[in-house]
């Protein structure tokens, strides 16, 4: 029996009340994690900007997120006159529901004794669980696109279109980054991928895939510096400009749950899932047994969330052309080349019988080259500079000669001549 079949055999045997408790617990974890992440983001960014942050509602301000949620619920719910009311209401629901569903195949721990029942700390698993996560996450983007279209606002529509283009671009790079993981694990099941990382994490062996996925997941969740669909400097608020009250809160909830989802998936695919970090299990036999793996899993997940917060507080927003060029001209070609490297090493390992983990050597070299390519970034277009304007990137006026002088005189008229008091008298 293959490892995939052994792991999948543990599922589908739970009684109905165990399944119901698991569903409620997953929902509760996602909601509480969202409240905590909002508080944590505000505290971390406040520390980075030498501010205090929330510290009044509850101990250390932990109830500030709950107070914000109550405030949103009590606000007036407005619907624009030109909005498609049915789609306008359905869009936030369509955005938030898939973000919860994706957690159903995330493994939180091994098989444990739960209220007298032997059950895995995972709701369910599939032979194609990773594809299921990506498919459900793609459905959530329809909520953003339809919300922007149904608002009857130009800014909202542009934000929705940006989000759809962003999802298409960076989901391609994300999917290509996961191909090498599938080749090494020999399965698309999340529990089987975690089991395959018992000795070595894929984040170390497949470092380029890990880096490409990490960049793609920031773009996939519309987080800074890739939050172009809601750029307030250009689109006022983007796709949710016309939303208020609970409907806006649902979009807000979807963003933070999606952030936790991609972090949980990165933990599962690249950082060994619920396995103990730093090979603690070599000195502590019970590190990967019972409920201890929950601590390792959520510790890794919160590490990714901290990176999201750090990026938001450190980097400025990219231009849209730079952002799309990064996805199509950098990440996707690099992912394709890395797939060829991994496939070649796998074939040589199978034919010659050496340890396939030696792929870590080309992984380090490829990562160094990839960082050089990424840090160069897309080149900004050059603008013609007028001679009389100095070094400022101001294009010359499209008129010349005497006409230019007259135009400049009209735009910048000379001050009226002044007369002294004696002359006036």
Write out pLDDT tens, residues 147-187: 888 988 888 888 888 888 888 888 899 999 999 999 888 88
Give the distance from CA 11 to its chain's centroid: 29
pLDDT of residue 405: 47
Q: Is the pLDDT of residue 421 over 50?
A: no
Residue with token string 């594809």: 131
Half-sphere exposure of 91 (CA within 13 A, CB side): 28
pLDDT of residue 358: 65
What confidence tier does 388 reach under pLDDT thresholds 50, 70, 90? very low
Contact 209, 181 (CB under 8 A): yes
Average pLDDT over residues 266-293: 88
Q: Residue 384, exposed/middle/buried by CB under 10 A (0-12, 13-18, 19+)?
A: exposed
The kind and range of the H/E element at 113 are strand 111-114
Contact 223, 312 (CB under 8 A): yes
Q: Is the pLDDT of residue 403 over 50?
A: no
Backbone dihedral angles phi then psi of residue 120, each to the nearest 5 degrees: -75, 150
pLDDT of residue 420: 47
Give the distance from CA 381 to its chain's centroid: 28
pLDDT of residue 1: 40
What confidence tier does 412 reach under pLDDT thresholds 50, 70, 90? very low
Most confident of 86-90, 405-409, 414-418: 86-90
**What are the residue ranges of helices labelled H in 102-153?**
129-150
Q: What percent of the chain has pLDDT over 70?
A: 85
Q: Which two tokens stand for residue 197?
A: 């990382």
Q: Is the pLDDT of residue 87 over 60?
A: yes
Q: Which two tokens stand for residue 279?
A: 């090979």
Those residues whose C-beta lies under 8 Å from the C-beta of residue 338, and which sit 6 or more positions away, are 180, 208, 209, 212, 366
Least confident of 36-45, 282-291, 411-420: 411-420
What confidence tier does 409 reach under pLDDT thresholds 50, 70, 90? very low
The mean of the pLDDT values for the chain is 82
pLDDT of residue 402: 46
Q: Is the pLDDT of residue 355 over 80?
A: no
Enter the pTM of the model.
Answer: 0.82
């Amino acid at each position: 029996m293959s490892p995939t079949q052994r792991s999948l055999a543990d599922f589908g045997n739970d009684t109905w009340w165990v399944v119901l408790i698991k569903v409620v617990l997953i929902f509760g974890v996602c909601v509480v994690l969202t409240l905590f992440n909002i508080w944590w983001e505000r505290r971390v960014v406040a520390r980075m900007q030498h501010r205090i942050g929330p510290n009044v509602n509850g101990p250390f301000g932990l109830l500030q997120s709950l107070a914000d949620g109550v405030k949103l619920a009590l606000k007036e719910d407005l619907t624009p006159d030109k909005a498609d009311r049915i789609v306008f209401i359905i869009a936030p629901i369509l955005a938030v529901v898939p973000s919860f569903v994706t957690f159903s195949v995330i493994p939180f721990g091994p098989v444990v004794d739960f209220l007298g029942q032997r059950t895995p700390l995972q709701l369910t698993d599939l032979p194609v669980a990773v594809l299921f996560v990506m498919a459900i996450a793609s459905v959530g983007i329809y909520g953003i696109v339809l919300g922007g279209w149904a608002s009857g606002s130009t800014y909202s529509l542009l934000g929705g279109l940006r989000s759809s283009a962003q999802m298409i671009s960076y989901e391609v790079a994300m999917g290509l980054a996961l191909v090498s993981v599938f080749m090494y694990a020999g399965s698309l099941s999340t529990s089987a991928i975690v089991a395959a990382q018992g000795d070595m994490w894929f984040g170390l062996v497949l470092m380029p895939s890990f880096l490409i996925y990490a960049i793609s997941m920031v773009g996939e969740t519309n987080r800074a510096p890739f939050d172009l669909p809601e750029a307030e400097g250009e689109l006022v608020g983007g796709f949710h400009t016309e939303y208020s009250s609970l409907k806006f809160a649902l979009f807000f909830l979807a963003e933070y749950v999606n952030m936790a989802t991609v972090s949980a998936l990165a933990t599962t695919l690249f950082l060994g899932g619920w396995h103990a970090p730093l090979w603690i299990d070599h000195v502590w036999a019970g590190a990967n047994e019972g409920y201890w793996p929950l601590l390792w899993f959520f510790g890794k997940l919160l590490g990714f969330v901290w990176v999201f917060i750090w990026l938001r507080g450190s980097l400025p927003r990219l231009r849209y052309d730079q952002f799309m060029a990064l996805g199509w001209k950098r990440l996707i070609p690099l992912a394709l080349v890395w797939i060829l490297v991994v496939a070649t090493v796998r074939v040589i390992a199978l034919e010659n019988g050496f340890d396939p983990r030696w792929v870590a050597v080309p992984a380090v070299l490829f990562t160094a080259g990839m960082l050089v390519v990424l840090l160069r970034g897309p080149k900004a277009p050059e603008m013609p500079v007028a001679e009389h304007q100095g070094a400022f990137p101001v294009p010359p006026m499209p008129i010349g000669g005497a006409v230019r002088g007259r135009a400049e005189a009209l735009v910048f008229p000379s001050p009226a001549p002044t007369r002294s008091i004696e002359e006036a008298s």
